[in-house]
Structure 1
Amino acid sequence: MSAFIFVSILMAALLHASWNALIKTGDNKLAGMMVMALGHGVIGLITIATQPMPEGTVWLWLLGSATFHTAYQFFLGYAYQQGDLSRVYPIARGGAPMLVLLVNGIALGEYLSLSSYVGIGLLGVGIVLMARGVFTSGESRKMLPFAIGSAFATAGYSIVDGLGAREMDNAVAYVGWLFVIAAVTYPALMISVHGTSILRINRKTWLLGMCGAAASYTSYIIAVWAMTQAPIALVTAMRETSILFAVLLGWLVFGEKMSRGKAISALLIVAGVVITRLPY
């Protein structure tokens, strides 16, 4: 792997953590997430302008994925309303690959390597310790079910998107259509829950949400490009440094408490995710 690819992957990880930090910065995290969904929709419209239409059962995969993405944004927005970036992000980000591995191994009958079992164990310990810290640090406990819900939703769309993109055989078009659909479903959910008051969005929230959409999309593009230039397992493992970036951003930018327990938990989660990505 060249130094340029290495730095590019780290930049993608930083951008992923940064868009989460941008949403956390806003006065209204739920509205910020909605603006980001709309930004994704704009990017999706531009993308599908030159791509083929989905056909047949691909629409079912897209609708299923949009449902999971909507749930993901819903839970994550509420989690950031209640909890720290350095607490929410590792649980949400680290829980998803553990759940995907368990589903693939148990429900789908896929072979799990020794490294997968070791990684799942480290992930489980790290997440339990991170969650336990909520009860011992005086932080709001309300964020925990939302962070866990976000992890479940992420695992859900990861599995559905993998199968759906394979069936469509065009990842670019699939993601573009997904962005467009999710740009409708998430705002619709927010309006149904909060009424039209959620549409009264100030300039700061619009700016942060749109910047978040740009950072999220750019991170995704870099990651996909890197997977064409270097081993996929290595790229995906390196991307998980985003957890460390999020913890550092929470500590340095938001002044969140950085206890030894939180730092150890984050390192265990990163180690667990990286190990699960190893090909043996």
Structure 2
Amino acid sequence: MTEWIDQISGTPEGARIATVLAVSAAMLHAIFGALQKGRHDPWVSRAAIDLWVFLIALPVALFVVPWPEPHLWPIFLGVLVIHIGYKLAQAMTYQRGAYTVVYPVVRGTGPLVTVIAAGIVFQEHYNLTQWAGIGILVAGILGLGYYNYRKLDVGRETLIPALSWAVLTGVFVAAYTTFDAWGIRQSADPFTFLAWFFLLDGLFMPVFARRRLAALPREEWARLGLRGVVGALVAFASFGSIMLATRIDEVGRAAVLRETSTVFAALVGWLVLGEKVGPRRAALMAMIAAGAVIMEYGAH
């Protein structure tokens, strides 16, 4: 598998596969975000998910994939620091703001900063058509957040700090996308990087939120455990897909395509939570999708 990934990297076939991986990551990330914002405290939900991420990744990292090369350990330390900052900012965001408002702000900030960072770190360059697609997508995402804000009936008193946290979370999204993409390219075997990434990434939140977990009523443990297992599997598929996409193809393109997750998040809100879409939200969702299509079209 590793040899095949190396063979298709930077090729037209690789670009097509990376596109599929990035869009899949978008769909799964919307589900992942909803799992954290559901029934339980976001800190508790994320701790349960990460605990299962750690438990599932442990045997894979120790017994299945090759052992990491020595030069990867400082990279893993950097990954750990950035992802801790992201998780703290994300939990603070979800704790203070309505999911349908803050999620688009996070996802709108992330790709714009990522594209700029990818230009600096990976010397990626985009033509005017691609920049137009990026602009349309980001405008659609932020427009969706603003529309949801105008329709918000509760929680307005905490929304300003929530939006500030959302912007910071978006910056962390760009930071981890860029750093993880660089890190996975430094590993001879991308699956070694992924296994150890999930193992180390799953350590922090269960320890940090241990008191909240311990305070949870016993009758909630089974429900939370199920949410944790489902969330862990979604995390493996979502984060794994986007990191493989950034190894195979351009980081900026993958990051922009992943942010179609806001469309999927709106669909989750409509289909699962019973939220109304309406013509304006539908138009904004179409705008986001159009931006992604234009970005892809400009690449060919």
Q: Following TM superposition, by how much is the alpha carbon of 1:220 offset from its aligned partner in structure 2, in angstroms?
A: 5.0
Q: What is the letter of the counterpart of residue 58 of structure 1?
A: L
Q: Following TM superposition, by how much is the alpha carbon of 1:65 offset from its aligned partner in structure 2, in angstroms?
A: 1.4
Q: Check 1:197–1:268 CA distance in 2 against 1; reply closer, same or farther (3 A cut).
A: same
Q: What is the correspondence of 1:34-49 to structure 2 with a 5 Å cutoff?
A: 34-49=47-62
Measured in 2, the distance between the counterparts of 1:111 and 1:188 equals 41
Q: Following TM superposition, by how much is the alpha carbon of 1:156 offset from its aligned partner in structure 2, in angstroms?
A: 0.9
Measured in 2, the distance between the counterparts of 1:71 and 1:122 equals 29
Tell me the alpha carbon deviations over residues 40-66 of structure 1, each in whole angstroms, 9 at most, x when there is no partner: 112221221222332333212211112
1:164 aligns with 2:183: yes
Tell me the alpha carbon deviations over residues 197-254 of structure 1, each in whole angstroms, 9 at most, x when there is no partner: 3443432222212211112223456678999999999988776553322101113322
Measured in 1, the distance between the counterparts of 2:169 and 2:250 equals 28
Correspondent of 2:130 among 111, 116, 123? 116
Farther off after superposition, 263-272 or 245-254 = 263-272
Aligned to 2:212: 197
Farther off after superposition, 67-76 or 135-144 = 135-144
Q: Check 1:179–1:85 CA distance in 2 against 1; reply closer, same or farther (3 A cut).
A: same
Q: Check 1:233–1:137 CA distance in 2 against 1; reply closer, same or farther (3 A cut).
A: closer
Does the 8 Å contact 2:50/2:232 carry over to 1? yes
Aligned to 2:85: 71
Measured in 2, the distance between the counterparts of 1:232 and 1:99 equals 12
Measured in 1, the distance between the counterparts of 2:147 and 2:45 equals 27
Aligned to 1:213: 232
Aligned to 2:274: 255
* Residue aligned with 2:202, SS: helix
* Residue aligned with 2:203, SS: helix
Measured in 1, the distance between the counterparts of 2:123 and 2:246 equals 26
Where does structure 2 lack aligned partners over 5 or more consecutive residues?
1-12
Q: What is the letter of the counterpart of residue 117 of structure 1?
A: W
Q: Check 1:109–1:19 CA distance in 2 against 1; reply closer, same or farther (3 A cut).
A: closer
Does the 8 Å contact 2:103/2:262 carry over to 1? yes
Q: What is the letter of the counterpart of residue 83 of structure 1?
A: G
Does the 8 Å contact 1:14/1:245 carry over to 2? yes
Q: Check 1:255–1:83 CA distance in 2 against 1; reply closer, same or farther (3 A cut).
A: farther
Does the 8 Å contact 1:44/1:175 carry over to 2? no
What is the CA RMSD across the aligned residues, in angstroms?
Answer: 3.7
Q: Following TM superposition, by how much is the alpha carbon of 1:173 offset from its aligned partner in structure 2, in angstroms?
A: 0.8
Q: Check 1:124–1:12 CA distance in 2 against 1; reply closer, same or farther (3 A cut).
A: closer
TM-score by length of 2: 0.74
Aligned to 1:180: 199
Structure 1's consecutive aligned runs of 4 or more residues displaced over 6 angstroms after TM superposition are: 5-11, 222-238
User: What is the number of equivalent residue pairs in this alignment?
Assistant: 273
Q: Check 1:121–1:232 CA distance in 2 against 1; reply closer, same or farther (3 A cut).
A: closer
Does the 8 Å contact 1:236/1:277 carry over to 2? no
Does the 8 Å contact 2:263/2:288 carry over to 1? no
Identity of aligned residues (%): 28
